[in-house]
Every structure is written in C-alpha cells, then in structure tokens.
Amino acid sequence: MNAPIGIFDSGYGGLTIFQKIRESLPAYDFLYLGDNARAPYGTRSFEVVYEFTKTAVFSLFARGCPLVILACNTASAKALRTLQQEDLPKSDDPTRRVLGVIRPTVEAADSLSRTKHIGVLGTEGTVASRSYELELAKLFPQIRVVSEACPMWVPLVENRETGTPAAEFFVKRHLNALFSRDEKIDTLILGCTHYPILLPQIRKFLPPGVNAFPQGECVARSLKNYLSRHPEMEGRISRGGNANFLTTESAERFSLAAKTFLGEHEAIFAEHIELK
C-alpha cells in the first residue's frame, strides 16, 4: 500500500524544510514527526542522537513511510550514515530509504559563493562532527570553511522567544564571532533547520553582501530530483496532498506552535506519540 513521505526533526525546525518540500511536491502525502519532548538534540552525544534518530525513523517506517527525510542537520551528521549503511540493509524491508540535508546544502552553497569562503552555523553536535567541512572538502576542495556553534538558538526557537532582545543578543554574538574569523565569507549556511525561523534577526546583523540561505529550497529540489530518478520509490508514495503531524510532546502545543511556523491559515491537528 502506498504511504506518505516521512519527515523527521528533533522539534519544530524541520517544518522549515517540510514547508518547501510541500510547495515543490504538493501532490504527495507527508507525515511529520517532531521529537519535541527530547529536543534539543544539538548538545547530545553521538550515541544518543543516533539512538533517538533510529527510533524515530523506524517509527515512521512502522507507519508505512517508505522514504524518510532527516530534516535535521544534527541527525544527518550523526545518524544518517549508520542508518543507511548498517540499519537499513538488515531491516525487514531494505528497499526503504533515508535521506539527509547536508549534501544538498553543500552543493547549493558552492553555487552561491563567489569568494569561495563559506560560513557554517549549526548546533554544537553538527559543528563538532565536522560534517560540513568534510562534505565540502570532498566535493569542492577549493572552498574555505569556518564554522560556529550556536547552542542557544534552538532553545530560543523551541520556546518561541525569537522576537526578544535575548534572541538578538545571541544572534549578534555568534555572527560577530564567525565573521571575525574570516571577513571574506560571502555565503552563510544555516546548518540547522531551526535557524530560518531566526532569519529576521540574522539579517539584521549580517555584514552587507553576505547571503544567508535556508536549506528548505535546496533540500526540496534534491528530493524532487531523487524521486524523478527513482520511479520505484516514487510509485510507493501516496498522493492526496495531505500532511499529518506527530509529536512526542503535547499535541495542542505542537498544533499551536506549528501554525506560527507554517502560517495562521494552516489547520494542524498533531497527534502525540511515544518513541521507545
């Protein structure tokens, strides 16, 4: 039986990816899972992020999703490779797939940058994993990368505190730290799916001429391309234009908060689930 595309994030951040994916692939069905009860992931160890992500992905598989997008850089950095190379092949259906956000972002960053000096902002976990540096060095060795971990940004978004002076303080602090290390940066990877929600504050403190780009569009483009190259997977996705939402926290809280991220016109009815 056909089933939705699964989209996973530690919390609300993946909604920024989901939004662009749905705009670009409106005919398909989607099932979003936010592990809000255990967010943030960015300060957790490799093992913990891997275990949490694996449980979440297999819970989306158990609900029928043949394809799951890790709409989370921390999970992509710490769990994607093991899921793809070890867990999927030995699962009861090895034809299911998991895709991440880092590769499409790196490709987009190279095409946007003229100076070939790129800044990466991410969670402590993503920055410590050096996933962006490694992927950029592999694909575009001429690029110079500087990364900065912004541990307060996800809690600001999860707690819906983005419009406050505290948010501006922490945005400014990390942008200053990044640009003081390389003034030639002309392209900024927002390497955490929560960060586009802070874009108004980020733009306020960005040096002129620097392009800060959210990942939604390039991930959506890459997924569309993937489905066109894999008709065997495309044929397993259900089409109805529906989106359903699961959260490990309160369903009411998620439904309300998701509206602020996706737009007030959205009628969202989230369902609470336990991940074990």
Active site residues per annotation = 72, 192
* Residue of 6, 7, 8, 10 that binds ligand DGL (CB under 6 A): 10
Decide: is 17 part of the binding site for ligand DGL (CB under 6 A).
Answer: no
Q: How many residues bind ligand DGL (CB under 6 A)?
A: 17
* Residue of 170, 194, 198, 220 that binds ligand DGL (CB under 6 A): 194
Interface segment toward ligand DGL; rule CB under 6 A; list 34-42, 58-66, 113-121, 248-256: 34-42
Amino acid at position 33, single letter:
L
CA distance 166 to 179: 20
Burial class of residue 112 (count of CB atoms within 10 Å of its CB; 0-12, 13-18, 19+): middle
Interface segment toward ligand DGL; rule CB under 6 A; list 7-15, 229-237, 257-265, 268-276: 7-15
Decide: is 9 part of the binding site for ligand DGL (CB under 6 A).
Answer: yes
Burial class of residue 213 (count of CB atoms within 10 Å of its CB; 0-12, 13-18, 19+): middle
Decide: is 42 part of the binding site for ligand DGL (CB under 6 A).
Answer: yes
Interface segment toward ligand DGL; rule CB under 6 A; list 8-16, 109-117, 129-137, 253-261: 8-16
Of residues 207-266, which lie at the interface with ligand DGL (CB under 6 A)? none
Q: Give least dist CB 178 to ligand DGL, A.
A: 17
Decide: is 119 part of the binding site for ligand DGL (CB under 6 A).
Answer: no
Nearer Cβ to ligand DGL (237/254): 254
Place of tokens 């996705």: 237
Are the C-beta atoms of residues 98 and 80 closer than 8 Å to each other? yes
DSSP category for residue 36: G
Decide: is 147 part of the binding site for ligand DGL (CB under 6 A).
Answer: no
According to the 3-state scheme, what is the secondary structure of 144-205?
Answer: EEEEEECCCHHHHHHCCCCCCHHHHHHHHHHHHHHHHHCCCCCEEEECCCCHHHHHHHHHHH
Decide: is 80 part of the binding site for ligand DGL (CB under 6 A).
Answer: no
